């Protein structure tokens, strides 16, 4: 009746991965809806959020029970601690994707300010970071996690670029301000998603190496 | 049927000293139920009541009911020998028959069981039991080794195989790992988890970490009272009774 400890660890890993896949998909769909101007796609993203919220609760419950019942130590303990923290970051990524859909709800009812180029690029990099972070988590690959963290600068840079560019539009034509502001917020949401992916990477590195690299400035 | 055993208002005395006070609990079929509590809480007395191990203890008295297959095991119509075949027991100290081979240790229960078996039938039954006890791979080429020559962990698994050979429905285990090293303990714990697919298992343990690892349900005893019984996850994350909380967090006991 009762599952073995190893099986429980394996199924926790799978559950985390499933949630990661969902929030990546939410991000992807939210941006796709915005770029391709498909308002009906937004409902899909909201439907996924319900699943993500349930997994958020489930994963915490699984982790707590495992700590209480299995007394994990060393690598297993770090794995479970990482799963709990990653869980929070993934849920926040889902929330940010929802924020994007809320911006899109307005933006898709008005004419576009400009063709979207940097925003989809930001989304691509953020999703890539998230995918790498989760791969690194599943395979215990700290090098992949390190490399993913380095991409965060790219996303930050693009966010600044989006801001500067939209500023010129707003100065040239104040009528664009509401739309441009919404786009700036979209870029802000994507930047936050990349930050959460960075957090996940840091947790993975702690999980693999037992080394805390947070709050130490730029990576060497 | 959901429950393998139903205990109703069970009281037990050694002489004038009451050691169990109105214990009522259902023991779920094909699950692991752990009974934990500090020394002297009555947990061993309790589990021994479930297959009448106290019958011959002078001055022992029991009241209340233990229903197995819907019948009270303390009724006069019940043959305690047949009962113990259905409700087997494994003890704290591994107790294989020291002068018998590993094979004979497992086969002996079957021989006493009355039914005639051919050599190959017997060999088949012994292999099946040893496999279930996760001992076959280690012993298949050494079935002639004396019970006493095996390691402690192997002896305990041999005792489990011996108990399984007569095809019980319930397996009672009284601190089955407390005489074993951590590696043997881990093996027995995995075995308990596996066996609960087919058997109802009741384990007495004073090791609450072990209770957490192996149990589906946990019952907490204190001074002869059943304080609380619930799913293991519940007991170890959010027990209902303050005394359970204090015990599992190491405040006393």
Tell me the CATH number at A139. 1.20.58.220
pLDDT of residue A62: 96
Determine, yes or no, domain membership for B253: no
From residue B67, how far is each of B60, B71, B78 by CA, in Å? Answer: 20, 5, 11
pLDDT of A2 over the 70 cut: no
Q: Which structural domain range is residue B201 located in?
A: 3-248
pLDDT tops 90 at residue A156: yes
Q: Which residues of A touch B (CB under 8 A)?
A: 1-5, 64-65, 68-71
**Statement: residue A25 has pLDDT above 60:** yes
Low-confidence residues in chain B, pLDDT < 70: 1, 114, 253
Is the residue at B160 inside a domain? yes
Domains identified in chain B, total number:
1
Is B64 a member of any domain? yes
Could you tell me if residue A216 is inside a domain? no
- Looking at the DSSP bridge assignments, the partners of residue B201 are B32, B171
Closest alpha carbon within chain B to A70: B213
Residues of the domain holding A171: 5-209
Chain A hits for B232, CB-CB cut-off 8 Å, are 69
B contact residues 137-196, partner A, Cβ 8 Å cutoff:
190, 193, 196
Q: Does a structural domain hold residue B132?
A: yes
Residue A218 lies in a domain: no
Interchain proximity B213–A69, CB inside 8 Å: yes
Domain count, chain A: 1
The mean per-residue pLDDT over the stretch A62-89 comes to: 96
- CATH number of the domain at B137, please: 3.40.50.300
Nearest CA distance, B34 vs chain A (angstrom)? 13
In a domain, A111, yes or no: yes
Whether pTM exceeds 0.80: yes
- Mean pLDDT, chain A, whole residue set: 96
Angle at the Cα of B176 (from B191 to B216), degrees rounded to 5?
55
Cβ contact A142:A82 at 8 Å: no
Half-sphere exposure of A9 (CA within 13 A, CB side): 18
Is pLDDT above 80 for A3? no
Please give the angle made by the CA atoms of A132, A138 and A144, to the nearest 5 degrees: 35
CB contact under 8 A, A1 and B31: yes
Q: Is the ipTM of this complex over 0.85?
A: no
In B, which residues are within 8 Å of A4 by CB distance?
A: 190, 193
Among chain A residues, the shortest Cα distance to B216 is held by: A2
pLDDT above 90 for A1: no
Task: Give a yes or no: residue A220 inside a domain.
Answer: no
Asked which of A102-111, A148-157, B25-34, B179-188 is least confident by mean pLDDT, the reply is B179-188
pLDDT average, residue stretch A87-115: 97
Whether B167 is covered by a domain: the verdict is: yes
Hey, is the C-beta of B249 within 8 angstroms of any chain A C-beta?
no
**CB–CB of B213 and A64 under 8 A?**
no
**Chain A interface test: which of B213, B234, B244, B250 (most A C-beta within 10 Å):** B213
């Amino acid at each position: 009746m009762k599952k073995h400890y190893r099986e429980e660890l394996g199924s926790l890993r799978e559950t985390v991965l499933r949630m990661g896949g969902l929030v990546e998909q939410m991000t992807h769909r939210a941006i796709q809806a915005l770029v391709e101007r498909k308002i009906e796609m937004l409902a899909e993203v909201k439907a996924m959020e319900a699943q993500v919220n349930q997994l958020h609760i489930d994963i915490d419950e699984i982790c707590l029970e495992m700590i209480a019942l299995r007394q994990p130590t060393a690598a297993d303990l770090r794995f479970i601690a990482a799963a709990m923290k990653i869980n929070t970051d993934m849920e926040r990524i889902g929330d940010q994707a929802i924020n994007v859909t809320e911006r899109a709800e307005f933006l898709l009812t008005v004419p576009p300010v400009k063709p979207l180029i940097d925003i989809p690029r930001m989304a691509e990099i953020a999703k890539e970071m998230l995918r790498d972070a989760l791969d690194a988590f599943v395979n215990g690959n700290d090098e992949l996690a390190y490399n993913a963290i380095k991409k965060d600068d790219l996303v930050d840079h693009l966010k600044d670029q989006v801001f500067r560019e939209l500023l010129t539009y707003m100065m040239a034509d104040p009528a664009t301000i509401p739309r441009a502001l919404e786009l700036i917020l979209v870029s802000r949401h994507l930047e936050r998603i990349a930050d959460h992916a960075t957090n996940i990477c840091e947790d993975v590195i702690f999980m693999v190496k037992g080394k805390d690299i947070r709050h130490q400035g730029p990576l060497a | 049927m959901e429950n393998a055993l139903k205990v109703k208002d069970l009281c037990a005395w050694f002489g004038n000293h009451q050691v169990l006070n109105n214990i009522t609990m259902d023991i779920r079929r094909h699950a692991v139920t752990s009974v934990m509590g500090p020394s002297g809480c009555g947990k061993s007395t309790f589990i021994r009541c479930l297959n009448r191990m106290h019958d011959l203890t002078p001055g022992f008295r029991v009241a209340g009911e233990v229903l197995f297959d819907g019948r009270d095991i303390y009724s006069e119509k019940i043959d305690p020998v047949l009962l113990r075949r259905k409700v087997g027991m494994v003890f704290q100290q591994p107790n294989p028959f020291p002068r018998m081979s590993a094979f004979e240790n497992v086969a002996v229960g079957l021989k006493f069981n009355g039914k005639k078996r051919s050599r190959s039938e017997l060999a088949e039954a012994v292999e099946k039991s040893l496999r279930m006890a996760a001992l076959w791979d280690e012993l298949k080429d050494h079935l002639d080794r004396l019970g006493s020559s095996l390691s402690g962990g192997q002896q305990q698994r041999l005792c489990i195989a011996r108990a399984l050979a007569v095809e019980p429905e319930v397996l009672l285990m009284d601190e089955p790992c407390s005489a074993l090293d951590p590696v043997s303990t881990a093996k027995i714990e995995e075995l308990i988890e596996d066996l609960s697919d087919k058997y109802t298992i009741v384990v007495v343990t004073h090791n609450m970490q072990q209770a957490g690892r192996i149990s589906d349900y946990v019952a907490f005893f204190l001074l002869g009272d059943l304080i609380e019984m619930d799913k293991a996850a519940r007991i170890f994350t959010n027990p209902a009774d303050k005394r359970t909380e204090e015990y599992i967090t190491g405040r006393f006991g």
